[in-house]
Amino acid sequence: MSTFAAVVLFVGVVAYAVLGGADYGAGFWDLTAGGAERGRESRHLVDQSLAPVWEANHVWLIFCLVMLWTGFPGAFAAIMTTLYVPLGLAALGIVVRGSGFAFRKVFVRTEQQRVVGAAFAVSSVMTPFFLGTVAGGIASGRVPTGGHGDPVTSWLNPTSVLGGVLAVLVCAFTAAVFLTAEARRREEPGLERRFRVRAQGTALVTGAVALAGIAVLRADAPRLFDGLLGRALVLVVVSGLCGLGALVLIRRAAPRLVQGLAVTAVGAVVAGWGVAQYPYLLGTHLSIATAAAPAPTLVALTVVAAAALVLVVPSMALLFVLQQRGRLEG
């Protein structure tokens, strides 16, 4: 029962990493698109592809928070009282990002657009970084069961920094793949080439950082290291192969296939973290079973998850299908 709730929670984490990640990454490319003139087309594409979906994708974060605090309330409190610095910054980053994005498109004067656009883009990079450090802090077992862990080293440590950097890179990679596909759908070869090169570049950098990360994890988070190269090895390998596949095929294969590979690459490695950590929620000191809420609460969450499967998944599919078919336009 508690394992099932943990799986549901982790499905939310994976969904947010993939879908929310692609949105954050679009902000990364917005930030690095260059000056107002040079970056105009890129930013327009980012706007167009992000606008209809970012709020729905963002709800996955709420889903994760709610699942965590209801299903595993003690662990939620422990995480919050330990990692409050990066979490507080991430929360404020989310506000800046969402409102900056919403405001930018109403503005017409370049200097105004620049201010709110920069707010959107910078927070699109900072927020996943902070969330990545949170993931690193949890994954390396730095959150004590009773909470109130070290407010600094819990998120400023090798695993957290690796988590933060990887989060930013992975977001950028997924976004570049999605934007390449979007540019192709809109038949804009110049933009397509631009984002394809960026996708390939970030794929290489992400791969390199991930490989270097193995050494970091070995030294800093041996249990996670063992898990990733043990029980979760299949997922790690799948992630690597899919990433490689996306890198190689992005020129030739259908955009949908490349998007699928990129999504699988990201999803698999995040799922790998979950598998590596099983059966613990925090380090090796708090197991999923111990942390879980009483059974009736878990049953209620299961019902909610089932309802999500029936209500939310088809709705979301409808949204994505309409968007992919170009039926949604601002």
Q: Please say which residue, 189 or 296, places its beta carbon nearer to other proteins.
A: 296
Helix (H, G, I), strand (E, B) or coil at 286: strand
The sign of the torsion formed by the CA atoms of 23, 271, 163, 207 equals negative
Q: Please say which residue, 104 or 198, places its beta carbon nearer to other proteins.
A: 104
Cα–Cα distance measured from residue 182 to residue 205, given in angstroms and rounded to the nearest whole number: 23
Omega into 222 within 30° of 0, i.e. cis?
no
Interface with other proteins (CB under 8 A), residue from 4, 81, 238, 290: 81
Q: Please say which residue, 208 or 309, places its beta carbon nearer to other proteins.
A: 309
Q: Please say which residue, 66 or 214, places its beta carbon nearer to other proteins.
A: 66
Cα–Cα distance measured from residue 224 to residue 125, given in angstroms and rounded to the nearest whole number: 25
Q: Please say which residue, 155 or 225, places its beta carbon nearer to other proteins.
A: 155
287 beta partners: 280
Question: Do 120 and 96 touch, CB atoms closer than 8 A?
Answer: yes
Q: Is 39 in the site for other proteins (CB under 8 A)?
A: no
Helix (H, G, I), strand (E, B) or coil at 280: strand
Interface with other proteins (CB under 8 A), residue from 46, 78, 138, 162: 78
Which value, to the nearest 10 degrees, does the dihedral of the CA atoms of residues 86, 273, 218, 151 take? 20
**In the chain, what are the helix, strand and coil shares in percent, each to the nearest 5?**
80, 0, 20
Cα–Cα distance measured from residue 90 to residue 248, given in angstroms and rounded to the nearest whole number: 34
Interface with other proteins (CB under 8 A), residue from 11, 26, 67, 175: 67
Q: Is 188 in the site for other proteins (CB under 8 A)?
A: no
Q: Please say which residue, 187 or 252, places its beta carbon nearer to other proteins.
A: 187
Q: Is 285 in the site for other proteins (CB under 8 A)?
A: no
Q: Hey, which bits of 150-226 come out as E strands?
A: none
Residues 218-257 that bind other proteins (CB under 8 A): none
Q: Is 113 in the site for other proteins (CB under 8 A)?
A: no
Q: Is 137 in the site for other proteins (CB under 8 A)?
A: no
The sign of the torsion formed by the CA atoms of 28, 187, 196, 198 equals negative
Q: Please say which residue, 89 or 242, places its beta carbon nearer to other proteins.
A: 89
Interface with other proteins (CB under 8 A), residue from 21, 39, 74, 136: 74
Token pair, residue 231, equals: 């029980």
Q: Please say which residue, 197 or 309, places its beta carbon nearer to other proteins.
A: 309
Q: Is 144 in the site for other proteins (CB under 8 A)?
A: no
- CB 104 to other proteins: min, Å: 8
Q: How many residues bind other proteins (CB under 8 A)?
A: 74
Q: Is 152 in the site for other proteins (CB under 8 A)?
A: no
Q: Is 69 in the site for other proteins (CB under 8 A)?
A: yes
Interface with other proteins (CB under 8 A), residue from 40, 55, 110, 153: 55
Q: Hey, which bits of the chain come out as E strands?
A: 280-282, 286-287
188 beta partners: none
- CB 202 to other proteins: min, Å: 26
